[in-house]
Amino acid sequence: MSDTENVHGGFWKGLLIGGLIGAAISLLYAPKAGKELRADLKRKGGEALDDAQKLFQEARTKADAIMEEARSKAREVMLAAEEKAVKVGETAKKEVKRAKQAVEAGVDAARQEYTRAKDDKQV
């Protein structure tokens, strides 16, 4: 989550909490009967709960989206690493084959030189 999203999320959370506190204080100082005040507090509490549930759902939706994006990127990285590993393996096989051919060529040259030297001594 970026810093901008954190700032905006904190702003909205602070706004909601400040609004609830302000509403509660205004209800407590309003000239109403106890029954009306309790009804208003109950209604405002229900509204606050609804708002909190909406915020929670929005946060959960954003978190799910972030997790899915992270999973997707992890899959991409794994596939890229696998492709590179395959390429490295293929390159290594080619190098081993070249080295084997070079060794075989050296062995053949040494045999030929040995045979020639042996023939020169016999003649």
- Answer whether 40's CB lies under 8 Å from 32's CB: yes
Q: What's the pLDDT at 2?
A: 57
Say which residue the tokens 């997790």 belong to.
67
Pairwise CA distance, residues 123 & 114, whole Å? 14
Pairwise CA distance, residues 123 & 119, whole Å? 6
**Number of structural domains, the chain?**
1
User: Low-confidence residues of the chain, pLDDT below 50?
Assistant: none
Q: What's the pLDDT at 118?
A: 81
User: Could you tell me the residue range of the domain that residue 41 belongs to?
Assistant: 3-122
Q: What's the pLDDT at 35?
A: 77
